[in-house]
Amino acid sequence: MRRTVSPARNRPFAEPFGRLFACALLAFVLCLGLSACSSGTAAVEAPSGTSADTAPAPGIGLVQVDIDTTALDGGEVETFAVSLTENMSAFDALKACNVDYVSEKGSYGTLVTSIKGIRQGEHGSMSGWLFYIGGEFAPTSADTSLLHDGDVLTWVFTTGEDL
Residue spans of the domains in the chain: they are 7-37, 61-158
Condensed to tens digits (0 to 9), the pLDDT of residues 59-83 reads 789 999 999 999 999 999 999 999 9
Report the pLDDT value the prediction gives residue 18, as an integer from 0 to 100: 43
Tens of pLDDT, residues 90-134 = 999 999 999 999 999 999 999 999 999 999 999 999 999 999 999
CA distances from 101 to 14, 97, 128, 159 (A): 47, 10, 12, 18
- What's the CATH fold of domain 61-158? Ferric Hydroxamate Uptake Protein; Chain A, domain 1 (2.170.130)
Closest by CA position to 122, among listed 84, 157, 78, 85: 157
